Amino acid sequence: QLQLQESGPGLVKPSETLSLTCSVSGGSMSSTLYYWDWIRQPPGKGLEWIGSLYYDGTTYYNPSLKSRVTMFVDTSKIQFSLEVSSVTAADTAVYYCARRVSGDTWNWFDPWGQGVVVTVAS
């Protein structure tokens, strides 16, 4: 059974770069059926999609974050990463990685990682 686990610093200073990694176990990232996504949730708020990564390195980003976000997959294809530059307090959130099942007209997330709390503060 596929499992995802986020990791990274829990505290980032304003204007610096937030870096997170999602480790994939129990399955491969190389299938053409799936994308690998990041989603975040600010405290007390709803879910915000950050972006998607395909196994070949193709990326799709939320336009509202596109200028500050980079996603990439490592060459072993057992983990993928997120970087958000020039962070502010508004980037404080729980960050989730998730596998997106993708078809012609359908795209859903299953499973999700447990999430990692990231706080932006000096």
Partner 1 sequence: SYVLTQPPSESVAPGQTARITCWGNYIGAKSVHWYQQRPGQAPVLVVYDDTDRPSGIPERFSGSNSGNKATLTISRVEAGDEADYYCQVWDSSSDQVVFGGGTKLTVL
Q: Is there binding between residue 67 and partner 1 (CB under 8 A)? A: no
Q: Exposed, middle or buried, 37 (CB in 10 Å: 0-12/13-18/19+)?
A: buried
Minimum distance, C-beta of residue 16 to partner 1, in the bound complex (Å): 26
Q: Is there binding between residue 37 and partner 1 (CB under 8 A)? A: yes
Q: Phi and psi dihedrals of 107, rounded to 5?
A: -150, 110
Q: Which stretch binds partner 1 (CB under 8 A): 17-25, 70-78, 81-89, 102-110?
A: 102-110
Minimum distance, C-beta of residue 8 to partner 1, in the bound complex (Å): 16
Q: Is the dihedral of CA 84, 54, 66, 2 positive or negative?
A: negative
Minimum distance, C-beta of residue 100 to partner 1, in the bound complex (Å): 8
For residues 75 and 19, what is the distance between their CA atoms, to the nearest angstrom? 17
Would you tell me which residues interact with partner 1 (CB under 8 A)?
Answer: 37, 39, 46-49, 52, 60, 62-63, 96, 100-101, 105-115
